[in-house]
Structure 1
């Protein structure tokens, strides 16, 4: 099991310096040695000018020395050879191939099917830390665990699940009596939305509530039903399986008048298990789209969020409409189908039409 949270839509991408990490590490060590030599020379000059009794410099003297001598380490970091950051989407060929991830938060959890696999991964990780000059707190590190608590998640060999204690606290909440209370509920639930299938479909109704809806004349029947449904889905939140690059990928799509939803799945023991749920509320203009076009938007959302896992793979897509297959294959398109086709062109899709009753939401 390898679980690392990717920063979606990062403004900065971490790429490999020109010449490789080994070459850059050699240059950095040389720059540090040079900086130390300059510091020693500066101290000797200070003793020469002001005598042995002088132990400090004025701010003017320090600023003057800093302006006349360039720090070798700063010069190397700012040089083109050490261009380790790039605006927007980085060049895929320059990305450092560590766990197929682009960038990370400061907590890392990894594992393997065997103990030897864990050791190999740990060796690769520590080697990369050494090359990147990243320090790790040994006292805060945990090794050889069958189950760990990681970023409010419980990670095990079976998969990733939300913290049961926090989910229990959410399910015990009563229906809010104000808009602010509803926003607090949705805010607490939003972090665990990846474990809730069709979260956006049910949550959209609650997001649209106004202060007047909580008054005496307010109609909250639909909102209460969605609220209870979400709490039940929280209680039944499944374990999300770890993504397996050796298994085929299956995707189900759903969209209604105000939201879209998609599920990424892989087969384990003859059963399709969820790997990730995603979805969002439709924009005002998108609400006028045909349901088939909304399902295309749902697919594009998943492809964007799971790009590093899905790039270059064959996707088995299940949809209620044959429009998706037509957009992906046809060469005579018009209207909104043209940009949809352009965005889907790099992907290898096997589209299968299913009936309404076979969709997960139905």
Structure 2
């Protein structure tokens, strides 16, 4: 808890966190609200499914991976999969050296994905337009606000030593994810 809060404030904060525990998945990360109007589809132009084997997961991170997957399942971000597609996971330690980040190696999926045409803004143009005004907003786990089509869910499937899963909400690592997210942000503004 935050040490600058008095006992009553800490109690109220703990109660609020308990009331909304279904949106907290791990390490204090909260789910973003769903973005209506944003939808992720993955067009692989009828390409045969790419199914890869799971990579070895070091024993020292296996329990952390289990807890992370359990949280993602409970939050309904992922589900068990019977998809013919499967990309392997890559475990990355976060900066704190304790927590893990679940990454998926979508290289082979991205190689057969049709690129989405959407003009991403240039940073220089954005800075020029803002002149003397700058506001920085963080949207952690923002991609998870974007729903996926049934086809995209199957193509997004991943495999690890604990099983096969597929995303229900857009993960990072997919070729078109930045463009889809940017379009959603542009539409929101």
Bucket of the pairwise TM-score, normalised by the shorter protein? under 0.3
**Which protein is richer in helix relative to its size?**
1
| TM-score, length-scaled by structure 2 | 0.25
Report 1 or 2 for greater relative contact order, CA contacts < 8 Å, sequence distance ≥ 6: 2
